[in-house]
Amino acid sequence: YFGASILTGSDSFQEVDVKIERPTYNKPFLGGFRNMSTGVEFHNAGSQTKPPKRPHKGIQLFCKETQTAVEKNMQQQTRNTTSTQMTKTGLYVSNITDKLITPGKYFTAEEYHKRRLEAVIVLQKYFRRWHAINLVENLKEQKRLRLARKAEEELQKKREKEEKLRREYEKKLNPKTKEDFELLYHELELWMQEETERINRTLTGAERKAALCALLEEETQLIACIGMHKLDANLENQQKSILHLLRKCAQPRRWKAFDGKITEMDTRNTLRGKELLEIYRSITKEGIPKDERTSVLLTVKCTVKEHECKLTQEIVALIDREIDLLSRDVKECNLEGLRKRICTLFLQYIKIPEFNPEVAGLLKVPQDPLTLYKKVHFCHSCENYLPSTEFPLAANSHTMGRCRPCYRLENEARQREAYLKYRLILEDLRKSEVDYQDDSKIVFLVQLPDMQYLIENIWNCQSALSASSDLYDLVMVRWDKQHEWSPWNTILLTKEEADAHLKLCNLQKTYEAPFISKMEQKHIRAKNYFAQIPVMSSFLRRSNNQAN
């Protein structure tokens, strides 16, 4: 507040208090001037009086621009002024450049729309022709790709078949495993049957008996030849199994880290296993010089001297004997027996857990004999005590029966059947069931004799669809893929048919009623056979409950 004098009359003044309001906003600059002599600036300013507010009418008002168009008048004139002159009396205008225009035929709206429809039809024809050409080209390309893929598949099948024949020929020529000798005896039996049938068909009387005797003599020679191959294969396989055992002893500890990397660690036991493996390889190596052989023998001697026992003393004595014989320039052919004894005794040294701790968990015979009492059974055929793993048991077996070597010997002497094809089918079936991850159990209870019975007696060794009898190309899959595999929920098909069958969603709509009825009859036969097995009865009741 400040005081101010206001003139109220001609000679009278009134003192009033003036209230100054400080604005909360910046005042606009309204111009001003500057005194040139003193340099003082003066600004123009508005009054401090607030403008009166308009009374509120209670209605919300908005200001908008009008939409009235702005009109403008302009005069226009053509660029060229033209005129038309006609011929008249006293004036001639040439008509050489004139054109005579005659009216055309008038067409109605119907004719106009008809003409447009015809034009549209022509466009549709050309478009459809272009679309048909593209469609045909696409079909041709798809056919070409399908035929190329089919040809590639046929070529792949041909290559696989040739590779399989080549492997079978190699197995027959150089048998190594039990399955190879099984196939070899099977081929021998087939050849014997063919020759016997030929002799019985073509010869009679004394000539037939002489031919059969010659055939028997030839069979005996072939069996002796197969026996020689078996002995060589057993020696080679034995050496491979020994090296495999020693490699396991020398294998470092491995585990997978959180980032997926494999970490390896050598322990004291694995390092000991590596040392013994290298020594065994060196001592079994042939054709090395005398000095190197002597160095190897001295290394073995220093290794076994770490432990004093009867075995190590015998090894040291044999090593000293060989070193003495090498110093006397004895021929190597005369040292073969001695070297085999050294290798055998050193292998026994390696298999003792006190000298090689890593081998304790790899030996088939445990160190504690008490653990064998409940797992050893007596074979009445060969009269040997063998572990339970050596006795094959069918699903309907009630006793232990004979051991695997006895079954194999009887098969080689009489039936000479090749079980490799059934074993492959069973292995493929178990792998496929593991991929389902639905905790299927029946497939692991079924053994090789059960699978052979299913294939031979129920499915007649042929595909249910194409009747293909090549067992190497057949597989067993689920009949209804929603339920686990069982002998009463299976079907025997080729590999291509099995892939197509597993893609089906509704079997009732895909297969005809006679075929489904035929499959159900086979499943009933399988149920009747496996219902005699106590272990299978619970699974059979469960499947019946699911069917109901």
What per-residue string of b and e applies to 399-435 under the rule 16 or more CB within 10 Å gives b?
A: ebbbbeebbbeebbeeebebbbbbeebbebbeebbee
What pLDDT shows up at residue 548? Answer: 54
Each residue's pLDDT tens digit, 16-67: 787 777 666 666 677 788 888 888 888 776 655 565 677 777 777 766 666 6
Residue 91 lies in a domain: no
Mean pLDDT of 400-424: 84
Q: Residue 238 pLDDT more than 60?
A: yes
Residue 153 CA to residue 150 CA, distance in Å, equals: 5
Element (DSSP H or E) covering residue 492: strand 490-494
Q: Mind listing the pLDDT tens digit for each residue in 255-283?
A: 888 888 888 888 888 898 899 999 999 99
> What tokens does 21 get?
């309001």
| Residue predicted with more confidence, 413 or 548 | 413
Residue 7 lies in a domain: no
Can you give the pLDDT at residue 543? 65
Query: Residue 328: its pLDDT value, please?
Result: 87
Q: Is pLDDT at 136 greater than 90 in this prediction?
A: yes
Task: Report pLDDT for 377.
Answer: 82
pLDDT above 70 as % of the chain:
88
Q: Establish if 393 belongs to a structural domain.
A: yes
Q: Is 196 part of a structural domain of the chain?
A: yes
Q: 542 and 458: one domain?
A: yes
- pLDDT per residue as tens digits for the range 206-227: 999 999 999 999 999 999 998 8
pLDDT in tens, 491-506: 999 988 998 898 888 8
Tell me which of 5 and 357 has the higher pLDDT.
357
Across all residues in the chain, what is the average pLDDT? 84
pLDDT on residue 266 = 87
Question: Looking at the structure, do residues 540 and 429 belong to the same domain, yes or no?
Answer: yes
pLDDT tens track for 287-346? 888 889 899 999 999 998 888 889 999 999 999 999 999 888 888 888 889 999 999 999
Same domain, 313 and 386: no
Are 508 and 489 within one domain? yes
Q: What mean pLDDT is predicted for residues 175-191?
A: 88
Q: Which pLDDT score, from 0 to 100, does residue 74 have?
A: 78
Q: How many CB atoms lie within 10 A of CB 240?
A: 11
Q: 199: pLDDT confidence band, cut at 50, 70 and 90?
A: very high
* Gap between the Cα atoms of 132 and 393, Å rounded: 66
Domain final position from 189, 220, 248:
248
Opening angle at CA 181, ends 177 and 186, nearest 5: 145
Q: Answer whether residue 460 shows pLDDT above 80.
A: yes
Q: Are 271 and 230 part of one and the same domain?
A: no
Co-location of 473 and 434 in the same domain:
yes
Residue in the block written with tokens 């005896």:
185
Domain holding 281, by residue range, is 263-363
Query: Is the same domain home to 344 and 397?
Result: no
Nearest Cα residue to 511 out of 465, 454, 442: 465
Verify that 424 and 518 share a domain, yes or no.
yes
**Tokens coding 63:** 């200001």
Q: Which pLDDT value is given to residue 78?
A: 61
Q: What is the number of structural domains in the chain?
A: 4
What pLDDT score was predicted for residue 217?
92
Query: If 0-12 CB within 10 Å is exposed, 13-18 middle and 19+ buried, where does residue 449 land?
Result: middle
**184 and 289 share a domain?**
no
pLDDT at 10: 67
What size, in residues, is the chain? 548
- Domain-embedded: residue 225: yes
Which of 453, 385, 400 shows the shortest CA–CA distance to 425?
453
Answer whether residue 81 is part of any domain: no
| pTM for this entry | 0.62
Beta bridge partners of 493: 475
Distance CA 408, CA 398 (A): 21
pLDDT band at 135; cut points 50, 70, 90: very high
Cα–Cα distance measured from residue 466 to residue 480, given in angstroms and rounded to the nearest whole number? 19
Q: Does residue 434 have a pLDDT over 80?
A: yes
pLDDT at 13 over 70: yes
Terminus-to-terminus CA distance in the chain, angstroms? 105
Residue 218 maps to a domain: yes
Tokens of 157: 């099948």
Same domain, 316 and 431: no
CA 257 to chain centre: 24
Residues 321 and 340 in one domain: yes
Co-location of 224 and 243 in the same domain: yes
Q: Which of 248, 271, 290 is the last residue of a domain?
A: 248
What are residue 275's phi and psi, to 5 degrees? Answer: -60, -45
Sequence-distant (6+) residues with CB within 8 A of 91 are: 85
Q: Residues near 57 by Cβ (< 8 Å), separated by ≥ 6?
A: none
User: For 391-433, what is the HEC assignment?
Assistant: CCCCCCCCCCCCCHHHHHHHHHHHHCCCCHHHHHHHHHHHHHH
Name the residue among 353, 355, 399 with its Cα closest to residue 377.
399
CA pseudo-torsion sign 315, 316, 322, 323? positive
- So what's the pLDDT on residue 50? 60
Q: Is residue 280 part of a domain?
A: yes
pLDDT (tens digit, 9 = 90+) per residue, 356-400? 888 888 877 666 666 666 678 888 888 888 887 788 776 566 677
